[in-house]
Amino acid sequence: MSHADTSIQPVLLNPGGAADDIPADEVRTFWTAADQDCTVVLSDGSTIISARVAPQTAADVRADVRARLADGEATPVRAVHLDALGLREAVEEWAREGL
């Protein structure tokens, strides 16, 4: 699996003036055609795990989950959705790092 390169830069968001500065992380991900996932650890220690999918796959999964939500299903997001989005594989690759 190919991982996208990232760079992280601390920034201050300034929605209403200097007194309202909000610390944030600017994350830039550089996806190549071969990259399938990306894992980023932010300055607060939280982790972002993302995966790359074709636009139609994303649209199909979203439509199916929305239909399940509209039908009132108790578990509208299924393992098949995570697999279609590449998230299960991305999480496994993240967990294997350093093994």
Number of domains present in the structure of the chain: 2
Considering the domain architecture, whether residues 61 and 34 belong to the same structural domain is answered as no
pLDDT band at residue 3 using 50, 70 and 90 as cut-offs: confident
pLDDT value of residue 18: 66
Domain holding 64, by residue range, is: 53-99
Q: What are phi and psi of 88, to 5 degrees?
A: -60, -45
Are residues 47 and 62 part of one domain?
Answer: no
Q: Is 99 helix (H, G, I), strand (E, B) or coil?
A: coil
Say yes or no: 47 and 75 in one domain. Answer: no
Question: Tens digits of per-residue pLDDT, 28-86?
Answer: 999 999 999 999 999 999 999 999 999 999 999 999 999 999 999 999 999 999 999 99
Residues 90 and 72 in one domain: yes
Do 42 and 57 lie in a common domain? no
Please give the angle made by the CA atoms of 50, 64 and 1, to the nearest 5 degrees: 30
Give yes or no: residues 45 and 61 share one domain.
no
How far apart CA 61 and CA 63 sit, in angstroms, is: 5
Q: Are residue 8 and residue 37 in the same domain, yes or no?
A: yes
> Among 7, 38, 4, 8, which Cα is nearest to 23's?
8
CB 87 within 8 A of CB 51: yes
